[in-house]
């Protein structure tokens, strides 16, 4: 029988603040998915968006994961180490005549959701700060999300040409994530459902670059009691590090894993051993939002 390739999963937080319960939930889901298949689980710090980085947030994230027993394999990758690869793969797309410089400002574009292709037809490269956009095609990009089912989107009609390198020179998330996952040989991406909508753009880039498309599983996101997604924007509180057992147990409940009550009193490593052995991703299939029932933040 041919051997299945080893599962390689990852968690890729941005160092814009401490982890909140929603991001720890995604970390735990991707950890359990990889570990339950005897796979590797990698950690990447998405630190490209320099203006949003918060000093010390990366080490706080590492400490938090450690405190919860979420131990990663190998060295932590920082996106900022990957500049040469981004440049190299941008050149590859340039040689395929897929990129063009764009000088449109947010003010010009207003609240248009689909880029109208204004700069696609500029004859010469403008002598001013410009972004780099990739041309999209009116074709459907589909994929089968292991939790959310069949997905499809027509990039040209639903999104338009999108930015790979920003005007300020920073590599855009959509492009960076594709290159990073390729560099880390990630073959199973598990992350929040808020990123489901952007996945076809990432698959389009993988196809243009001739890279393999990983398997995708988009986990539900956690909402507070007002129905808002826990996020830095909604001022979600940092995860409380004083009682990781209780928080981990609650997260396993939010992942609908039905942990037995006595597990709540065990150390995090023991809870994780139980959860890895009994992991049932199907319990959270087709769910987009899970409401927080108990306040475990401080």
Tokens representing 278 are 């009994």
Site string for ligand GLU, 44-73 (x = CB under 6 A): --x---------------------------
Taking CB under 6 A as the rule, does residue 292 contact ligand GLU?
A: no
**What is the Cβ-side half-sphere exposure of residue 26, based on CA atoms within 13 angstroms?**
28
Among 7, 8, 9, 14, binds ligand GLU (CB under 6 A): 14
C-alpha closest to that of 164 among 182, 181, 177, 152: 177
In angstroms, how far apart are the furthest CA atoms of the chain?
69
Tokens representing 154 are 């027509």
Nearer to ligand GLU, 12 or 290 (CB): 12
Question: Least distance to ligand GLU from the beta carbon of 86, Å?
Answer: 15
Residue whose CB is nearest to ligand GLU in the complex, by number: 46
C-alpha closest to that of 193 among 220, 164, 227, 156: 220
What contacts 24+ positions apart, CB below 8 Å, involve 83-89? 83/171, 85/179, 85/183, 86/171, 86/175, 86/176, 86/179, 89/175, 89/179, 89/209
Taking CB under 6 A as the rule, does residue 201 contact ligand GLU?
A: no
Question: Least distance to ligand GLU from the beta carbon of 72, Å?
Answer: 14
Q: Which stretch binds ligand GLU (CB under 6 A): 11-19, 81-89, 135-143, 261-269?
A: 11-19
Q: Which stretch binds ligand GLU (CB under 6 A): 6-14, 206-214, 265-273, 286-294?
A: 6-14
Residues that bind ligand GLU (CB under 6 A): 12-14, 46, 177, 191, 195
């Amino acid at each position: 029988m041919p051997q299945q390739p080893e599962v390689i999963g990852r968690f890729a937080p941005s160092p814009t603040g401490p982890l909140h319960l929603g991001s720890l939930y995604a970390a735990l889901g991707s950890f359990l998915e990889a570990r339950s298949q005897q796979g590797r689980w990698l950690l990447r710090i998405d630190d490209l968006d320099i203006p949003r980085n918060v000093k010390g947030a990366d080490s706080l994230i590492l400490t938090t994961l450690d405190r919860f027993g979420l131990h990663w394999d190998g060295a932590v990758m920082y996106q900022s180490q990957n500049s040469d690869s981004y440049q190299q793969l941008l050149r590859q797309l340039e040689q395929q005549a897929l990129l063009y410089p764009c000088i449109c400002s947010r003010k010009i574009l207003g609240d248009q959701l689909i880029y109208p292709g204004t700069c696609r037809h500029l004859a010469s490269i403008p002598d001013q700060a410009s972004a780099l956009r990739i041309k999209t095609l009116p074709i459907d990009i589909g994929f089968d999300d292991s939790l959310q089912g069949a997905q499809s989107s027509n990039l040209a009609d639903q999104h338009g040409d999108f930015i790979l390198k920003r005007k300020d020179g920073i590599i855009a998330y959509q492009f960076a994530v594709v290159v990073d996952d390729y560099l880390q040989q990630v073959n199973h991406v598990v992350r929040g459902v808020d990123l489901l909508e952007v996945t076809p753009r990432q698959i389009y880039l993988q196809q243009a670059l001739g890279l393999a498309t990983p398997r995708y599983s988009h986990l539900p996101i956690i909402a507070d009691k007002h129905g808002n997604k826990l996020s830095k924007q909604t001022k979600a509180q940092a995860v409380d590090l004083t009682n990781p057992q209780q928080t981990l147990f609650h997260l396993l409940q939010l992942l609908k894993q039905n942990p037995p009550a006595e597990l709540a009193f065990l150390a995090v490593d023991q809870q994780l051993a139980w959860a890895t052995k009994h992991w049932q991703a199907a319990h959270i299939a087709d769910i987009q939002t899970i409401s927080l029932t108990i306040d475990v933040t401080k």
